[in-house]
Structure 1
Amino acid sequence: MHIHVKDLTKRFGGEDAVTGVTFAIEEGKLIGLLGPSGGGKTTILRMLAGLEQPTSGEIYFHGQRVENLLPQKRGIGFVFQNYALFRHMTVANNIAFGLDVQKRPRKETKERVHELLALTGLSGLGERYPHQLSGGQKQRVAFARAIAPEPQLLLLDEPFAAIDAKVRKELRTWLRELINRLGITTIFVTHDQEEAVEVADEIMVIHKGRLEQKGTPWDIYKEPQTPFVAAFIGESNLVEDCSRLKGFERAGGAKAMIRPEFIELFKFGETSLLSALEQGVVRSVFFRGTNWEVEVETGAHRLLAYRSLEKETLQAGDEVGLLIHRLYRFDDRSGSMVENTGKTDPMPIFI
C-alpha cells in the first residue's frame, strides 16, 4: 500500500473534527474524499500534507511513518481551492517555484517547465501573469506547479470549486487523463457527487469526521453500508415504515431508502403484476434530458421515480401503478437491500 492511515483523530477546542479514521490507498489510485461541508475532509487532507498535526493516529507513506515529518519532507504536491498562485511571478516562474526551492540546475528546471506547459495545455502562456489567465488556466498552472517536483502524492482541495460549470466539466476529464498518464497517487476533496463519481477510482465518504464507506463509485452506489451513505449518494426517497409497502410486508417496521430507478411506473393496462403494485397519482412531471422525473403520491408517501422517454408521457393527475423492485432497509446501526417479494415470474408483461 502506498498510503496507510490508522486511527487518525484531530481535535479542535475539545471537539473532534476527525475521529478514528483508518484507510489504505494503493499506489497510482485517484481517490475522492466526498461528503457534506464541515465533515472533516479538508482536515484529513491537511494532516496527510503535514499542515495539521494529528491529535492521535498514524500516517504511513510506503511503510514510513510520516506524521512527524515536515511537509517539505513528505514528497507531496498540494493544489488549493483558490489556486494560491504568486501574482508577481509569470506562469513559468510559478511552475518552477518548487524546483527552485530544491535548487535544481537551471537547465533542468527550464526543460521541466517547458514539458509541463505542454502537458497541461499551457504552451505559449509561460510569460503571462496570473491576472492575465482564465480560471481554468489558473488551475492548470496550479496543477503544473504541484507536479513539477515529481511528488509521490498529489493532494487537491476542492480543485474545481472556483471554476464555472462548463470549464469544471472539461477539467475533470483533463485531470482524469493527466493522472492516468502520470501515475501519481492522488486524493481530492469534493462535496460534488457527480465530480467524485466521474473522476475517482475509489470514493471515501466522510461524515461528521468519520469514514462511512470506501469503495468504487459503483459499489458505494449499489451497496451502501450505512444509512448516511444510502441517503447521501444519488437521488433517494425516504419512507418511515417500509412494511406498509406491497411486497415488503415482512421487512419489518423499519425506515427505508428507495432510489427513483428502483421504481417502475405503469399506466392502466401496461402490466399484469397488479398484486405487487402500489396505486398512486402523478403530482408533477419534469423533463430531465434522458428521462422524465415523475413525482407520485401514494398513500402517505410522495415518491420520485423515472420514466423512459420511449413510453407514453404521464401528466399531473394521471393514476398510475408503482412497482418498487427493491429498497434499502436500515436502522441506526446497519442496513441491507431488500427485494420485493410480491413480484412473480415472468417479469412485467407489456401489452
Structure 2
Amino acid sequence: MHIQVKDLSKRFGGDYAVQNVSFSIGEGSLIGLLGPSGGGKTTILRMLAGLEEPTSGEIYFHGRRVENEPPQKRGIGFVFQNYALFKHMTVFDNIAFGLAVQKKPRREARARVEELLELTGLSGLGGRYPHQLSGGQKQRVAFARAIAPEPQLLLLDEPFAAIDAKVRKELRTWLREMINRLKITTIFVTHDQEEAVEVADEIMVINRGRLEQKGTPWNIYKEPQTPFVAGFIGESNLVEDCSRLKGFEREGAAKGMIRPEFIELFLPGESALLSSLEPGIVRSTYFRGTVWEVVVEAGSNRLTAYRSLEQDALEKGDEVGVLIHRLYRFDDDSGVMVENANKIDPMPVYI
C-alpha cells in the first residue's frame, strides 16, 4: 500500500502533539518512526490506524482519502506495545480472531492459522494460553494475529519494548525477514536508534510533533539536516560556535556537530599538521573493545574521539593535538559538511 500524508496535525487541548507533518511511503517499505518519548510518534501511528481523529490534514491510502473512515475499513494490522493478546484465548484462537471477524470459512481460517504458526516459528504452541508463553513468543503471536487477515498496512507501536535485550535483537532480524517475505508496507515506532537503523529501509525522525528528516539510515547519519537529528542519530559532539576551530574560521557564529570518527588525536611530535591542531587535555579514556574512546578538553569544547588500539594508549592528563578533519555546520537549522581548510594545500604542484 502506498501512503501519503499531507499537513497532518493533532491537538490535545491547546497543545499540538503533531503539527503539519507531511510524508509519503512507497508500497512494501519498512519505515521506522524514530524520536524521543512524547515526540508524537505513536499519535501519528494511531491517526493512520483510525484510532485518533486528526485535528487537520489528509491521509491517503493508494490515493483514497481515509482520515474519516473507521479502522476496520482501512485494511490495517496493528501490533500494540503490550501485545494486547486475549488472555482467555489460546494462541490459535488469538491468531484466528481477525479471520472470525471477517467471517472466513472455518476450514480456510484453520489453514491460514496453521500457515502462520509455522511461518512465525510457533508450530506446536497453538493450544497454549498467553501466560504460558515467553515475551518473544507473545510478540510473535501478536504479529501473526495482525497479519492473519492479510492487511495492506502493518503498524507496530514499540514492538520490542517489553522484551529483554538478547531476545529483542533476535526479533529484529526475524521481523525484517518476515516483512521482506510478506512485502507488507510496515511502519513501526521506536525511540531506539540502533533498532531503527538495523530494521528500517527508511527512518522518519520525529521531534516535538514535527518531522525533522526522512531518509535511509545511512543518509540520515551521513547528512543530518538539523541540529536535533545530528545529535540524536549516532555519537556526536555538539559545539556552539565551530567558527572558532582551526581550519573552520569564518565570519559569524554557527553551531557545529562533530562525529568522534572525524577527530584524530596526536601526542606531541606525532603530527606535522600543527596549523590544524587544537591543543587539548585528555580527561578520560574508555576501552570499547575495538577502539579507545577518549574524552578530551579542547578550549571550551569537551569532545569525544576514538583512538586505534594499534596506537599508544593515552592517559588522563596527557597533552594532545586535536585534529578535526571535518564537521557539520548548521546555519539557520540547515546542515552542510565542511572539511578542515588547513589540510588543503593552497599551492598544488603538478608533475
TM-score range, shorter chain: over 0.9
Give the aligned residue type for 1:277.
Answer: L
Aligned to 1:112: 112
Aligned to 2:124: 124
C-alpha distance in 1, partners of 2:263/2:203? 26
Aligned to 2:349: none
- Tell me if the contact between 2:225 and 2:333 (Cα under 8 Å) persists in the aligned partners: no
Aligned to 1:276: 276
Aligned to 1:91: 91
Q: Please state whether the residue corresponding to 1:218 is helix, strand or coil.
A: helix
Structure 1 vs Structure 2 CA RMSD: 1.3
C-alpha distance in 1, partners of 2:297/2:226? 27
The 1:198/1:345 distance shift into structure 2, 3 A limit, reads farther
Aligned to 1:238: 238
The 1:250/1:99 distance shift into structure 2, 3 A limit, reads same
Q: Which moved more, 1:335-344 or 1:293-302?
A: 335-344
The alpha-carbon deviation at position 232 of structure 1 amounts to: 1.3
C-alpha distance in 2, partners of 1:165/1:309? 28
Give the 5 Å matches for 1:1-351: 2-250=2-250, 252-344=252-344
C-alpha distance in 2, partners of 1:334/1:30? 27
Q: Please state whether the residue corresponding to 1:342 is helix, strand or coil.
A: helix
After superposition, what is the alpha-carbon deviation per residue over 1:210-265, rounded to whole angstroms, capped at 9, x for unaligned? 11110001111111111211121111111122121110112632121111111111
Q: Which consecutive residues of structure 2, in runs of 5 or more, have no partner in the other structure?
A: 347-351
Give the aligned residue type for 2:2.
Answer: H
C-alpha distance in 2, partners of 1:29/1:266? 45
The alpha-carbon deviation at position 332 of structure 1 amounts to: 4.1
Q: Please state whether the residue corresponding to 1:261 is helix, strand or coil.
A: helix
C-alpha distance in 1, partners of 2:288/2:333? 35
Q: TM-score, structure 1 length as denominator?
A: 0.96
Structure 1 runs (4+) deviating above 3 angstroms are none
- Tell me if the contact between 1:285 and 1:292 (Cα under 8 Å) persists in the aligned partners: yes
Give the aligned residue type for 1:186.
Answer: T
C-alpha distance in 2, partners of 1:195/1:179? 15
Q: Which moved more, 1:80-89 or 1:323-332?
A: 323-332
Q: Please state whether the residue corresponding to 2:53 is helix, strand or coil.
A: coil
Count of matched residue positions in the alignment of Structure 1 and Structure 2: 346
Q: Please state whether the residue corresponding to 1:186 is helix, strand or coil.
A: strand
Q: Please state whether the residue corresponding to 1:238 is helix, strand or coil.
A: strand
C-alpha distance in 1, partners of 2:31/2:82? 21
The alpha-carbon deviation at position 344 of structure 1 amounts to: 3.6
- Tell me if the contact between 1:242 and 1:251 (Cα under 8 Å) persists in the aligned partners: no
Once the two structures are aligned, what percentage of the paired residues are identical?
82
Give the aligned residue type for 1:229.
Answer: V
C-alpha distance in 2, partners of 1:101/1:127? 20
C-alpha distance in 2, partners of 1:114/1:51? 30
C-alpha distance in 2, partners of 1:290/1:90? 47
